[in-house]
Structure 1
């Protein structure tokens, strides 16, 4: 048993006012408690307790030593309470990373959690490039698409429907595709980032399946910018239903081939920690999953 543990045993003896009571409180035998106190006295070369058949009393050195031992035990208990608070209640700074076009969904998803927990703060890092979770001290990153093997922990939140969209002005100028193969002759606005797809799997009426490879007239590493260019009538773009629901409803964008659908886009919550997650991360993931699953075109 190390010296710090012996100090804790000594503090318990003083607080309980007997070896036997301290033994019961610590789940030890009375003889083991007595041995630890004697070893502490031998190691320090100082008598800490006067013992009699009726009671224990502190020596002058024991009184001074007890103050330090009690402070150590109190600090250890406080540290344990802090850990329990982090485990059980969402507190502290929550650092979240999300793509530019999706940041607005994060704000809505976490608003209830933030309002209910005044001790929780949020730092939202918005970037379409993949952020190093360790270097940027990210607690939770939102990632989309196929997850590659890595040291991170990924939890699937939902899947989003995707569709080929265009502005009415573009379709008046270039014509509306009548079939999936017609898509290849149109101007495309594509997401450009490492690993971004150029080939897309379509499923159509009657179980038809088709893979098309398209070339970009305009490309960007920012999905929100592509959405704005699509609204400006510059071409076709593959969009997540949840991102363009308002534009579709208002008629600013059109679902070009509603009978054909591209494979769904998976949304993931990625964390750098494999062991027990702090409460702020657990609650944030639950809030994100609940909110995202309720968006247009989302599937749990």
Structure 2
């Protein structure tokens, strides 16, 4: 994966999202629409998250040092955890704001301005989302993948705003202006609920990585490879440990060789390591693999 390409996309995404945020906040204040204002503040928070993602991508590209001897991979799930948490908190805030708006009798807003805003940004945000998704098929970046979720969420918000404001306009023209006032807070509630799924989609894997929970798929893959190697070479036993931090995968394998195993030189062990590594799939810079051998089972207890 090209880290340079990843950073370029993150920079573009950050600048464009900041522009969307400013437009949303300004439009929200002028029109009096709390839902547009919410959309703007969501975009502003997303901008700050994108800055963190860009910094993380730059750190990951650097070599490890004495303080961070395994590199900076651990920062990736931490940033995603922050993003997911912000999405969840802003969704809760929006929901409560919408409920109180309905209780207080709704809000009068400038429909012409907000309809124009929602229509323009629906096109921009969906267009950018699909363009980035196509670019990431080559990059295969986890940061870009989750960063792009914010564009999908923002695009969905804009579609919801457009449909709802057109509904409010129709109600006004039909002589039901008193009901049109409830559209803005109602949108806020719907938008808040629609953001819960994307928030949990980001939070779940990020939280697993931060807590150090062993990824099931990787654990199964390592055990399957060791079963094959054991059947071929008659290992007396083995112990495996796996952990994942963002795109980095840490694999530790300890193998017990049987008494009298034909060990002619260190090259024999290196050949075993190479065979097991190939069983685990193609190696890359994000895979940390340690394989050790012993003749005493107590070392793996």
TM > 0.5 between the two? no
Higher relative contact order (CA 8 A, sep 6+): 1
**Quick check: which one's helix share is greater?**
2
**Quick check: which one's strand share is greater?**
1
